[in-house]
Chains A and B, each alone.
Chain A
Amino acid sequence: MLSPLIFVVWLSFFQDTILYFPPSGYTVSWYQKALSDPAFVNGFITSLQVAALAALCGVVLGVLAALGIVRYRFRGNRPVNTLLLSPLLIPSIVAGLGIYLAYLQLENLLDTRIVGTYGGLVIAHMCLTIPWTVRLVSASMHGLDPAIEQAARNLGANGRVAFMRVTLPMLRPAIVAASLFSFIVSFENLELSLALVGPGRTTLPIAILQYLEFKLDPTIAAVSAVQILLLGIIMLVTDRFVKLSQVV
Chain B
Amino acid sequence: MAKVSIDRLKKQFGASVAVSDFSLEIADGELVAFLGPSGCGKTTTLRMIAGFIPPTAGSIRIGKDDVTNVPVHKRNTGMVFQGYALFPHMTVGENVAFGLEMHKVPAVERGKRIDNVLDMVRMTQLRDRYPRQLSGGQQQRVAIARALAIEPRVFLLDEPLSNLDAKLRTEVREEIRALQRRLGLTTIFVTHDQEEALAIADRMAIMHDGKVQQVGFPETLYEKPANLFVANFLGKMNIFAGRVESPGRFVTENKLALAIEGSGAAASQVGVRPERIALSTEPVGPNAMPGVVDSSVYLGSLIDVRVRLDSGEVIGCQLPNSAGAQPAAPGTRVHACFRPGDCVLFSE
Contact = CB atoms under 8 A, between A and B. Distances in A.
Contacts of A165: 98
Interface residues of B, number: 25
Interface stretch (A57-65, A152-160, A229-237): A152-160
Given A147-B85, A150-B52, A165-B98, A157 B73 contact: yes
A98 interface: no
Interface string B67-102: 000011110111101110111110000000011001
A166 B50 contact: no
Contacts of B89: 169-170, 172
Contacts, number: 60
A148 interface: yes
Interface string B44-55: 000000101000
B249 interface: no
A151 B102 contact: no
A147 B82 contact: yes
Given A145-B83, A150-B52, A155-B150, A170 B88 contact: yes
A101 interface: no
A46 to B, nearest CB: 37
B11 interface: no
A212 interface: no
Given A148-B87, A165-B98, A155 B81 contact: no
Interface footprint category on A: 10 to 19
A156 B85 contact: no
Contact of B79 (A154, A169, A170): A154
Interface string B10-38: 00000000000000000000000000000
Contacts of B50: 154
A161 interface: yes
Contacts of A145: 83, 85
Interface in A102-157: 145, 147-148, 150-157
B76 A156 contact: yes
B70 to A, nearest CB: 12
A155 B76 CA distance: 7
A156 B85 CA distance: 15
A148 B85 contact: yes
Nearest to A154: B79
Nearest to A162: B73
B203 interface: no
B143 to A, nearest CB: 8
Contact of B99 (A148, A155, A169): A155
A162 B72 CA distance: 12
Contacts of B76: 156
B68 to A, nearest CB: 17
A154 B77 contact: yes
B129 interface: no
Contacts of B71: 158
Interface of B: 50, 52, 71-74, 76-79, 81-83, 85-89, 98-99, 102-103, 146-147, 150
Interface of A: 145, 147-148, 150-158, 161-162, 165-166, 169-170, 172
